[in-house]
Amino acid sequence: MDVVPWRVPERAAQADGLGRVESGRMPCGRWSLPWESRRMPYAEPVRTESPSTDPVPDPSPAPAPQRRVHEGRYAVLEPLDAARHGDGLFAASHGDAARERIWDYLPYGPFPTREAFDVHLAAQAAGDDPLFFAIRPRGSGTVEGVASLMTIEPAHRSIEIGHIWLGPELQRTPAATEALFLLIAHAMDRGDLGYRRMEWKCNAANAASRAAAVRLGFTHEGVFYQHRIVKGHNRDTAWFSILDHEWPAIRATFAAWLDPANFDEEGRQRRSLGELNRAVTGARFRNESP
């Protein structure tokens, strides 16, 4: 059965392909209610330390991420291939309202035809930044989502995880969480690429995507107002990050949450990832349920 790794209020906004949405939602910022009436379901940890001009111990460029398979206990990430992954990804993201809500906050989609979707996938698969991966849960064996490493700046050791969308069957499962963990760990682990900074950016009105960032251990840094025009609508962008000195503790919470011992015989989590990361980031959720 699906495990519910975190909860957001039913009236929270749809994530960038990450969560669920209430039936009365309107996509791409077309909400009838003002932002103040859609309160965030948690208190976001906010970065408050003073700016630094300290020397960087290792200022050499980090390696760029490569097209390779990343394997975990619950999920496998494969370099995106339009021919190989098109059938599964189209089925996961089109065909009914729940699937097409995936595209609400993304700058593209849904697509009117399978051919248009294939052209889109081929363009994404051909690029190096963003570098796209298809997510294949081991339980189903079918690709059901996409994520990328992007805004890749080796000279500054800064990178972002984004362009994330998850089919309804993949949402709120250990496979979904592990897939994102694998990419973050690949970028941040000192024995791997060793980046100093991992970014998460989303529409500032997208409460569920912001909740997902906090759950995964990211810290809020602020909002860029009138940052983008997406599908004809304004997008204010919320910025989150994990820094290299924060990563070891956050990595440990992922390992604890993904441990099979954290799930009972029916696959229900014993402790939520949000609960584990709360002690690390200082996030205090209004809803104390995991």
Residue-averaged pLDDT of the chain: 86
Task: Flag whether pLDDT at 230 surpasses 50.
Answer: yes
Task: Flag whether pLDDT at 276 surpasses 90.
Answer: yes
Q: Which residues pair with 71 in a beta bridge?
A: 76
Using an 8 Å Cβ cutoff, are 208 and 9 in contact? no
Between 117 and 18, the more confident residue is 117
Between 14 and 266, the more confident residue is 266
pLDDT given at position 44: 86
Task: Flag whether pLDDT at 212 surpasses 70.
Answer: yes
Using an 8 Å Cβ cutoff, are 239 and 197 in contact? no
Domains of the chain: 60-281 (3.40.630.30)
3-class SS of residue 97: helix
Confidence band for 195, pLDDT divided at 50, 70 and 90: very high
| Tokens read off for 179 | 């897939």
**C-alpha distances out from residue 24 to 11, 99, 101, 171, Å:** 9, 15, 12, 20
Task: Flag whether pLDDT at 16 surpasses 70.
Answer: no
Average of per-residue pLDDT across 234-245: 97
Average of per-residue pLDDT across 50-68: 96
Average of per-residue pLDDT across 216-221: 96
pLDDT given at position 252: 97
Average of per-residue pLDDT across 118-135: 98
For the chain, percent of residues with pLDDT exceeding 70: 83
Task: Flag whether pLDDT at 221 surpasses 80.
Answer: yes
Task: Flag whether pLDDT at 96 surpasses 60.
Answer: yes
Confidence band for 40, pLDDT divided at 50, 70 and 90: low
Task: Flag whether pLDDT at 120 surpasses 70.
Answer: yes
Task: Flag whether pLDDT at 257 surpasses 90.
Answer: yes
pLDDT one-digit tens code per residue, 100-115 = 999 999 999 999 999 9
Average of per-residue pLDDT across 21-44: 42
| Distance in angstroms (rounded) separating the CA atoms of residues 133 and 78 | 5
Confidence band for 29, pLDDT divided at 50, 70 and 90: very low
Average of per-residue pLDDT across 254-263: 97
Least confident of 18-22, 49-53, 157-161: 18-22
pLDDT given at position 280: 87
Q: Quickly count helices (H) and strands (E) in the chain.
A: 7, 10
| Distance in angstroms (rounded) separating the CA atoms of residues 54 and 179 | 34
What is the pTM (predicted TM-score) of this model?
Answer: 0.85
